[in-house]
Every structure is written in structure tokens, then in C-alpha cells.
Structure 1
Amino acid sequence: MLIQKRLLVLFELLNKNESKISCKALSKITNVSERTIRGDIAALNSILESHGAAIKIKRNEGYYIDILDLNKYQQYLAEITQDIMEDNDIPNSPIERNKYILRYLLYSDSHTKLEDLADQLYISKTTILNDIKSIKSILSRYDLNLISKPYYGIKIQGNELNIRKCISENIINRDFENYILGITDEEVEVFKNIDLKRLQEIVLRYVHEFHIEFSDFSLKNFIIHLAIAISRVNNGHVLIGELDNLPEDSYLKKAITPIYAEIEEYFNFNIPSNERIYIYNHFKSKSTPKLTAKDNTDEKIIDYTKNLLDYIYIHYNFDLKNDTTLLNDLILHFKSILNSKYYNQNKANPLINTIKSNYPLAFEITLTAVENIFKQTVYTFTEDEIGYVSLHIGAAIERYFDKNINCKKVVIVCGSGYGTSRLLETRLNKVFRDKLNIVECLSYNQYLVHDLNNIDLIISTIPLENKNHPVILVDFALLNKDIEGISKAITDEPIVYNKVLSEYFDSNLFLKSPNVNTKEELLNLMCDTLNNNDIILPSFKNSVFYRETLSPTNIDDFLAIPHPMELSAISTKICIAILKEPILWNKNTSVSLVFMIAINKNDYFEMDKIYDIFLKIINSDDLKYSILNCNSYENFLNLLQSII
């Protein structure tokens, strides 16, 4: 080799990065000390000096490669291309390295020495020991143990079903779009001895032939579990003991039989009876049953669903009980979830983070309602499952809002003639349908003398001033900004947003750089602040902490919105904490801004506007930066005023 592996990793980082990289960043990425980085830089420079380049450092910015002779440097790059390609198999980041080690151990039949793993990955013994701690934590979630044998090394021990589940959930990257679009390079690498594309082709052919319904995500999951089964059996790891077999569906059985046959023929793979049960269970649990709400539906599920909608009405003022679409969708969905739970087949939700970040109101209502309705039953719901249910609830809330928007009486004022005003009227009716009642189209002179007593809104193509009625100035072409302005006027958004800022925020509840170090300290401080201002009921604090045990309340890696399980506030207020340093909110995420919400039942109807403000914050990096640097409550309030 022309260059040592560790130096090659460092060289790649510098070569492919267009910006400068600090010594601290390089140390963190490669997981070696800054002193080692500086030594490696010197070693690299001794190599590069004869190949037309040098690694230099710019103060306060970092290291970069300065190309002195382009021809020499390009020739050198060509010489080490093979080394770089070979090195791509060696993980560079701690996350990639943990996945690599876990996969290696899960598929290893014999003990492995830590020294050998460290040499293989070009890392220190200390680093490998730290990695093993992370691996043990992952394995414990699957009742798997990492056993050690003196002079031989370490080995994973545990149930084969649990090993397969661990492989499925930790080795395969389920990035939603890439995952469902086809076979990824990573999957090809994991299943080196299996033709995944041929496996996919076999499955798809019979799924289409027999018209079996799958979501794209679930179908890909089935193919991956099929590949896991083949790879494990080929390595001598078969399922032992009696497996629970899902009730047999004759049509699904008929569809999967030719899949078994083709797999056995193409992959030279005899499928043992237990493996057939394993494969069939995944095939059935991941397919979508063709049901209607009346198909042998357990009466308990109907009762649970109606009780859920009653709970939402009583506690949140959203009357969704007469939404037959929602009722049928929830009955079918709960039947599918509870059926899967009975056979211990929980479905992963690839969109859970997107749902929590973009539809927080629907998620919170669903989580609280499900927790309260099902707490007296044998069923507990995962965060993934609640995310799926919240999609149905969110859609119903949108329908509810659309239905309850009062039709506004409108006059159109247009200075370009009657024909122009009629065309604008047609466009408005097309966009807003039943939300506008266009009473009349007026010229400017007609407008000056017209009786507007019963009018709610004036839409005009010319600038107007009217003290008694809101005026929306629009372009004749009805641009997107015009549609947005009319939408806000129809829903009274400016009025509601101003109420949110003026009534729900308070300078006494503004905590700038509070002296806390942990999430628990901060939650206690914020609850006490609300309590000292006579805003909350005694049950509030315990309920806030209980809510955190169900699912973390951070929306992203910047903002968290802790709140209680029930509406236990005397008045609606929001306590704000802007942190000097980010606080660890859960095992993976830290936050810098916290809004603790205390909601009175009478105000819940306006909560969607509060959540809209939160979403505007997390979608604007500039706004995040400004909030962190604001030095007063007035400054903070002005920032929020600027986005509504």
C-alpha cells in the first residue's frame, strides 16, 4: 500500500471536503485524539510533498489541502484510487462502526477477539471497548447477551428469532424513500451471497399475480425478512422449537406456495417447516387485509373506537363522532393493530418522526386519547402505532375545520371593468368553493356609495381603506400570496394569532438562560413557575412527567413542548425557556428552546394556531438563531409577531 489505512481515512476526509475542517472535528469523526490528528497530518505531509500538494491550516477555520502541482496531484490520486475503494468498506463514523461491529458479531459463528476487531477497523483498544458498551445496550433490547470466553473473545448468544429481529431493526437502513424505491447498495453489501434483485422479482411477480395488497414499506420489509431467513439458514442458523403460526388464510397460502418453490430452485435452498411458518407469518402480517368495518369485527373494537371519539370530544372540543369515514377507518385500523399484537407482530412506522414534527397536535390528541381509553385493557400501543392512528385523527380534524369555517359574505371591488371582476369572481369561487359568498362585484365608484353593513370582507384589485371591514388587496391573476391572504381572513387567523401572543404569553413566564443542567431540573422549574403564577392545578407537574415517559416531547433537535396528559390549567399560558447550552432531552437529542404548554379546556380550539407558531420556528434556521440571541421578552414577542 502507498499509504497507511488510518492516514488514508484522514486524507479522504480532507480531499473530498470543499471547506476547511478543524482538528477537533477531525478528531471526533475519526475517533482519535487531536494530538494523533496533528501527528497524522505531519505524516501525510511527508507523503504529499513529493506529489504536488500540502496540508495547511488556517487559523480559526481548520485544515485544507493546498494543491501546488495539479498534474502531480491528479497522478497521485489515480495511483491510490484502488486503496480508497478498498477503504470504503471500513466505517469512519462511530454510528457506522457500531453497525459494522453488530453485523459482524450477529453473523459470526465463533468467538471474536477485541484486538482483532480493533485491528480490522484501525481503531484503538479503548475505542473498541466503548463501542462494545453501545453494542451491549442494543442487544439487551432483544434479550441477547454478549458472552466472553478468556483467550477466545466475545460472541452473541440468544434466541434465533430475536437475532433476526435485531438484524432487521439495526442493520438495515430504513430511510423511507430510499428504502422503498428498490434494493440499496447497503443491502447488497449486507446480503452478499443473495441475489436480492432476483428475490424481489420473484416476490413481486406473485404478489401482483394474486393481487395481494401491501404498502410499499411493508412489501420491502417482507423481502428483507425473506433475505434474512435465507442468509441465516445458509449459515446454519435455523429456527428451533415450535413457532406461533398465524391463522391460515387459504388465498395467501396459495399465493406464497410458488414463492417458496422458486426460492428453493433459484437459491438452492430447502426451506425447513419452521422457516415456512416464519416466512408466512411475515407475509400475512405485512399484507393489508381486505376488510370492511363490518367483517367479523369484534364489538369491543367498535366500543374502543367510539369511546376514543367521545374522549376527544369531551377533552378537546373536537366533535368527530359523526365522521363516518373516520369511524370506519379507525375500526379497521384498530382491528389490524390488535390482530398484529396478538401474534407479536408490531409494525414499524417509517414516518413517525415526520408525523411528530409536522402534525404535533393530531399526535398529542391521539396519544392522550389512546392512553386513556386503552389503559384498562391488556393492550399497550407503541409510538409507531400511535403515529399511524394520528394520521386518521389529523385528517378528521382537517375535515372538521373545513366544515366549521363560516361562509364569508364578500364584495369584489375591481377598477378594470365588469368583465374583469366576473373573471376574478369565477377564480375565487373555484379556489374557495363554499367558503365565500360573493354578494356583488363593484366598480370603485359603486363601492363608495354601496351599503356594506352585512358584508364580512372586501376583496379588491385596487388599494382601499375601510375602517369597518377587512380589505384584502389581490392581483387580478390571483397569485399564491393573494390566496394565502384570503385564507387567513376567512379563518380569522390574524385575530386568533394576536390573541395567542397577547393572552397566552407572559413576561413572568419567560426564562432566559435558566440555571439548570438536566431536563428534570428544567421541567421542575417551569412547572413551579406556572404554579407560582396561579396558572395550573396541583396535578399538572406529575402529569407532565408521566407524559414524558410515553414519548419524548421534543419536535426536533431544537424545540421541545412538554405538557400534561390532561387539560389541567386554570388559564391557558405558555412558559418559555431559552437555554444558554442545549439540554439532553432524550438519549439521542438535545434541545435549546422549550415551550411548556398549560391549556384550559375552553381554549383548546385555538391550539392548532399555537402549534402553527411552533412549526414556523422549527422550519426557519434564521428564526431559531434570532430567538436564541434575543435578550428580552419584548424582543422575543416581536420575533413571533413578525412570523404571523
Structure 2
Amino acid sequence: MVLLNKRQNEIVAYLATENDWIAANRIAESFDISVSTLRRDIEVINESFIEQESQVISKPGLGLRFTIGSHFTGLHACSAGQRNEIFATKRLVGIVTDLLTQAPQPLSISTLSEKYFVSRSSIVEDLKKAESWLENFSLHMFRDHTGTYIKGDDLNIRVAMKEIIAHSFFSRHQIADSRIDRFSHTELVEQFGKVNVENCISLMSLIERDLSVAISEPYYTNLFSHLLVTIKRAVGLAAQSEIETFNRYMSREWTIAEKAVSWLEKEYNLSLPEIEVSYIYQYIISSGHHTLAKDPQTPLSPRSEADEYADKLISCCSHELGLNLRLDKKLHDGLALHIKPMLNRLAYGIAIHNPLLDEIKHEFLTAFSAVTRAVEKLVGCHATSTVSEDEIAYLTLYIQAALDKFSAKKKIIIVCSSGVGTSQLLASRINRAFPEWEIVDIVPGSQLDVTLAVKACDLIISTIKLEGMELPVAYVSALFSKKDIARISEKIIFNENMKEKDNAR
């Protein structure tokens, strides 16, 4: 059975509920995806439901419709789907949030039944789903005469609450760099209270002011979620963390974290354990677009761990992709800046949510697969924990941006001294390696100047030595091996670097 992701399960539920023909563009708009992405999802859905004799059928002029077969047993889900079942209804989200907020204090079924206006039997069924979901975070549900309650590590409780916030409120509306958009704001207020949400927004502004930066997504959402969880747990009179042994730092980030905790204590008239300072500090140094405070007395290593990780990642990806990306300084610098806080996140066990994960996996599968294999090789080298698909998807965007330099249309001239058959073989292999490129001509060296006088090109690929050329020249063998592809990629990247230097002057 093919497993469905969260969106694909939601598409099936949407179509099954409508039970009628629906235009493809209307469905795509509902899920904020392109029609082409919807078509790929439908292919996966149909393959998944083939054993149940159910499928999504398409008819021109009518749209899409889900037909239920005789062996249909209901909407099944993949492991990710089961994991995300908790987000299916607001009631389920509310019940789990209440239990996590109160943990380890109990809540009675009667209390939950009255709050959500449903029968006790409905609450019992919801609790079964909640129990299954909570096991993903090593949290356990117990029932006794006092009610139902959750037991587990405080950090795991926080992670579960952050998962709810990330997937229930922020993943529905992919609005670039919108901070807390109006849709998410309304739903957060409904679940966590207006005062708590507004206080989180205010505290985030204070932290950004002290850092002298604007924290970008997804780091803003990550820190915001942590602060909201901290407030909700503290105000809910949940048991406080008993961790007393942890590192303290003499840095600007630590001071800002201390100020944030003091602000919360004053605002809510309560006392928080000092470990809360450490938690906020970890999120701050795991966020992008800020400069860590450094001791001026300590000379910095010219090669940081992030630089080394970026180098190794690029090297591994180059090997996987058959292209040489090692000379791409822009790629290295961008990756190193991203990797620096990423290594902190891995060290502190801080997860980030990437709302574009499924899109990136579909649209940039080659790059995503290469980065995945590269990261797996680097786990042992850098003593890092397993890197999540969300993190891999962000790294993929940097690699894909570098690959786009090769896929961009280029006009090339091939200079070859061999016979017609060899030159045609060379042209064929270049076309296969770089399908977007246009071969404007294939000429012998003696005819190159004449050809350049009447035909424009971006790159010359030659099997013979050329003198006095102003255009970039990549030298290859007549048989065009993988090494030749690497040489061409080096020349393209070198040329891009030179252009950037000229533009910077």
C-alpha cells in the first residue's frame, strides 16, 4: 500500500465530503498548491486506494470526483497521516492542548465533555486518538478515579505542544515572512487566549530590538511557539521543570534570554525556574540572521565548524549530482550562514517546521535526494543527531539555487577538430547533460572567429586549445566524460563568481 502524506489525506477527505464533481483549480486553491502538484497527489492517492477499488476520477469540463469502491474501508493514512490525525478537528487540538497544558494534573471526561459540547463517548474516542499521537513524543496517558492525565519528560511535553502550534495554526497559511498572519492570529487567540498571544508578540519585539535584527521565518515562529508554550504551561500551573544543572554563558544572547524571563515573571506575577533562561537562549542562538557575541580577546578560527560542514556537504552533493559545485562561493557562504544555527538546533534538539517540505520534495526531488544522502554521510563526521526532512528541505533550496545556474538557458558553440561523427556524439552528450542549453553551432577552430562575428554565445566548449578568447572556454575530451561535466560546471561557477566581483566594484 502506498502511504499518503497529510495533504493527500486531506484531499481525499475533502473530495469524499463533497461527493460531487469539483474543478481541479478550485481544489488546488483550497490547498494552496499548483494544479500540477494536485495532479501528482491524485496519482499517489489512486495508487494508494487501488486495493479498495476506490479512486479519484477526472473528466474534462467536470473536474475531479472521488468514487468509493465496494472494498473501501475508510480513509487510511500513512505513518505521517496517523501522526497528524490529531489536527483533523479543532476539538482534538483543544483536548490535547488542555491535557499537555495541565500535565501531569488530571482532567475529567465530564469537564472535557461540557467544554466541547459533545458526549462522553465522543471524548473517550478522542482520547484514544490523542493517546496514540502522544506516544510519538514518549508521553503516556493514564486514567484513574481523578481523571485523565499525561506523564512524561517536561521537554517532550513542550515539543508536543510546539508541534500542535506549528501544524495546527501556522502550516495552513503559507504566507511568506508574514509573521503571525491574521488567520493564524485568530486561531491562536481562540486556543491560547488573546492576552497570551499579544504578550508573545510583544516579547518577540523586545528580543528582536535587543538583538538589533529581525528574526526571519521559520525561526520567528519557532521562538514564538516556545514562548507561547512556556506561558501556557506556567499559567496553567503545570509542574515546573526540575532541571538545575545546565551551562550558563557570558554573552549578549544569554542576557537577552534573562531579560525575557524577567519580563514574563513580571507580566504574569509568577516565578520561573532558571532553566527557562537556558531554553530561550538555545532558541535565540539557533535562529538565523543574527551575529553571535564573540569574545574580542579570543581569536576566531579562520575555519568554523559551519564552514567545514558546508564544504563537506557541497563536496558530497557534487559527487551525487555529477557536477562540481565546490567553486561556488555564493553557495558556500549561504550554506555556512544557514548551517551555523542549524548545528545549534541539532545540538539542543530544537526542531523546525518547513511548510514547503512536500513541495520541495516533489519539485526538487533530485537535489533533495542528493542532500539527504550527503547529510547521512556527515552525521558520523560531525557528531550531530539525525537531520530531519524539514532541515534537509531548507538545505535543498541552497543546492537547487546553485543547480539553477546550470539549467538556465545558455547559448554555446562547440569547437571540435575531430570528424563529424565525433562532434555529433559530443553535441548529443552535452545536450543530455544540459538539456536547457542551445547549441548554436559546431565549428572547427579555424572557423570560430567568423562564427562569433555573426552568432552570439555565452560559453565555448572546445576539444582543442584556443588562444586570446574573451568568452569563457571549457575544455573537454571528445567523448565527454563525467570529468568533463565537472570541468564545465567549474567554468560556469568561476564565470558567475567573476561577474559578482565585477558587479560589487
TM class by shorter chain equals 0.5 to 0.7
Q: How many Å apart are 1:211 and its aligned residue?
A: 0.5
Which residue of the other structure, out of 349, 355, 359, is the alignment partner of 2:354?
349
Q: Are the aligned partners of 1:206 and 1:255 in contact in 2 as well (CA < 8 Å)? A: yes
| Letter in structure 1 aligned against 2:138 | D
Deviates more, 1:342-351 or 1:282-291: 282-291
Paired position in structure 2 for 1:331? 336
Paired position in structure 1 for 2:400? 394
Q: How many Å apart are 1:383 and its aligned residue?
A: 0.6
Paired position in structure 1 for 2:371? 366
The verdict on how the C-alpha distance between 1:199 and 1:118 changes in structure 2, with shifts beyond 3 A counting, is closer
Paired position in structure 2 for 1:52? none
Distance in 1, matches of 2:309 and 2:317, equals 12
| Letter in structure 2 aligned against 1:253 | W
Paired position in structure 1 for 2:101? 107
Q: How many Å apart are 1:323 and its aligned residue?
A: 0.7
Paired position in structure 2 for 1:169? 163
| Runs of 5+ unmatched residues, structure 1 | 1-19, 24-60, 62-91, 410-434, 440-452, 460-486, 491-599, 606-644
Which residue of the other structure, out of 159, 162, 167, is the alignment partner of 2:153?
159
The one of the two structures with greater contact order (alpha-carbon pairs below 8 A, sep at least 6) is 2
SS in 2 for 1:214: coil
Deviates more, 1:225-234 or 1:197-206: 197-206
The verdict on how the C-alpha distance between 1:300 and 1:22 changes in structure 2, with shifts beyond 3 A counting, is closer
Q: How many Å apart are 1:382 and its aligned residue?
A: 0.9
Q: Are the aligned partners of 1:117 and 1:128 in contact in 2 as well (CA < 8 Å)? A: yes
| 1:424-478 deviation line (CA, Å, top 9, x unaligned) | xxxxxxxxxxx99999xxxxxxxxxxxxx9599999xxxxxxxxxxxxxxxxxxx
Paired position in structure 1 for 2:6? none
Q: Does 1:134 align with 2:140?
A: no
Could you state the TM-score of these two structures normalised by the residue count of structure 2?
A: 0.56
Q: Are the aligned partners of 1:180 and 1:217 in contact in 2 as well (CA < 8 Å)? A: no
Distance in 1, matches of 2:320 and 2:211, equals 46
SS in 1 for 2:269: coil
Tell me the matched-pair count. 346
Q: Are the aligned partners of 1:219 and 1:287 in contact in 2 as well (CA < 8 Å)? A: no
Q: Are the aligned partners of 1:200 and 1:223 in contact in 2 as well (CA < 8 Å)? A: yes
Larger Rg: 1
The verdict on how the C-alpha distance between 1:198 and 1:304 changes in structure 2, with shifts beyond 3 A counting, is closer
Give runs of aligned pairs for residues 495-644 of structure 1, distance below 5 A: none
Q: Are the aligned partners of 1:147 and 1:154 in contact in 2 as well (CA < 8 Å)? A: yes
| 1:252-272 deviation line (CA, Å, top 9, x unaligned) | 234445444444433334443
Q: How many Å apart are 1:155 and its aligned residue?
A: 1.1
Distance in 2, matches of 1:93 and 1:311, equals 37
Give runs of aligned pairs for residues 30-41 of structure 1, distance below 5 A: none
Q: Does 1:222 align with 2:223?
A: yes
Q: How many Å apart are 1:22 and its aligned residue?
A: 6.1
Paired position in structure 1 for 2:189? 188
Distance in 1, matches of 2:340 and 2:245, equals 19
| Letter in structure 1 aligned against 2:127 | I
Paired position in structure 1 for 2:464? none
Q: Are the aligned partners of 1:291 and 1:332 in contact in 2 as well (CA < 8 Å)? A: no
Give runs of aligned pairs for residues 385-464 of structure 1, distance below 5 A: 385-402=391-408, 405-407=410-412, 454=451
Distance in 1, matches of 2:126 and 2:319, equals 50
Paired position in structure 2 for 1:277? 278
Q: Are the aligned partners of 1:230 and 1:269 in contact in 2 as well (CA < 8 Å)? A: no
Q: Are the aligned partners of 1:313 and 1:319 in contact in 2 as well (CA < 8 Å)? A: yes
Q: How many Å apart are 1:281 and its aligned residue?
A: 2.8
Distance in 2, matches of 1:328 and 1:247, equals 30
The verdict on how the C-alpha distance between 1:117 and 1:226 changes in structure 2, with shifts beyond 3 A counting, is closer
| Letter in structure 1 aligned against 2:154 | E
The verdict on how the C-alpha distance between 1:99 and 1:320 changes in structure 2, with shifts beyond 3 A counting, is same
Distance in 2, matches of 1:311 and 1:206, equals 37
Q: Are the aligned partners of 1:238 and 1:275 in contact in 2 as well (CA < 8 Å)? A: no
Give runs of aligned pairs for residues 139-150 of structure 1, distance below 5 A: 139-149=134-144
| Letter in structure 1 aligned against 2:156 | N
Paired position in structure 1 for 2:37? none
The verdict on how the C-alpha distance between 1:375 and 1:212 changes in structure 2, with shifts beyond 3 A counting, is same
The verdict on how the C-alpha distance between 1:385 and 1:454 changes in structure 2, with shifts beyond 3 A counting, is same
Q: How many Å apart are 1:146 and its aligned residue?
A: 0.3
